[in-house]
Amino acid sequence: MILDITKSKDAFKNKTVVTMGIFDGVHRGHQAVINTACEFKRQGLDVVLFTFKTDTVTTKGRGFIEMLLSDDLKKERFDKLGVDYIYSPAFDEMKNMTSAQFVEQVLHKKLNAEVVVCGEDFRFGKGAKGDAEKLKLLCEKYHIKTVIVKQAKYEGRKISSSDIRDCIRHGEIKRANEMLGYNYYYKLPVLHGNKIGRTLDFPTINQEITKGYILPLFGVYITRTKIDGKWYNSISNIGVKPTVEERSAPLIETNILDFEGDIYGQVVEVELICFLRPERKFESVDELKRQVKSDINKTREFFEHWED
């Protein structure tokens, strides 16, 4: 189980390997960096992951980044990859720290690093003036070994969180999943809805997308839903339900195939497999009902040939 040492004022006693980055999405490139750090466990080093709290990170001219994963979901993925500890301060706490100060105060004194691991495009220090080569140079003073991991690529381009966000915005979820190395997902509480789905003979669960998340292209997606550790095939509409109930906050409305049960209040995971069609307003509820039935039939056909 990964331990959060962010609030600890004590210096780390054991020698560590520290891997660093924003890790938004924990995509295949991030996984390569983290896996490289975890290889040093064989040398008896504890793996510490340094990252900023996602909702405190800003980008030039754009304000806060749109999250691919919440900090809690990022921690879950770090844990699965084998990270022992996470150190995740708010960005404001360190944004004025120079590159040299970061290496001395954080890596050397606080985290007791013997090895640091980062990607080729790693930036750090005030104004992001430090790069991977500067990190290597500064770490030599404290006899800290620096390992720089080459960027992972997809279709000849480096994998980036920005490209993944663009894919999700445009409904290119299959491309996003290939760059992520897993199916993009939401893990949110099930809310009490207006039961309209039941009147259409297609009962659904409703989950509201948390503010700050990247918003996918509104529409219908073939999905899978995890309940009590078991996966179910499903179909989800993401959007504002323009035909029956115009909403301001985007909602994930999921019909779970071949499932019956009351899961209101539970936190349920829904992963997006592929985009089926855009959201649109129908002229009548009967027309909507016919379309939903068609969408469900297409979903069943998809899973007959799908390989996880």
All domains in the chain, ordered by first residue: 3-158 (3.40.50.620), 183-305 (2.40.30.30)
What pLDDT does residue 219 have? 94
| The model's pTM | 0.90
Tens of pLDDT, residue by residue over 227-285, are 999 999 999 999 986 544 555 678 999 999 999 888 989 999 999 999 999 987 777 77
User: pLDDT tens digit string along 186-197?
Assistant: 999 999 865 554
226 class by beta-carbon count within 10 Å (0-12 exposed, 13-18 middle, 19+ buried):
middle
The region that residue 31 occupies, defined by phi over 0 for left and psi between -120 and 50 for alpha, beta otherwise, is: alpha
Residue predicted with more confidence, 42 or 200: 42
User: Tens digit of pLDDT for each residue in 72-92?
Assistant: 999 999 999 999 999 999 888
18 and 115 Cβ atoms separated by less than 8 Å:
yes
- How distant is the alpha carbon of residue 245 from its chain centre? 29
Q: What is the pLDDT of residue 99?
A: 95
Torsion sign over Cα 100, 106, 110, 112: negative
Of the listed ranges 24-33, 177-186, 256-265, the one predicted with least confidence: 256-265
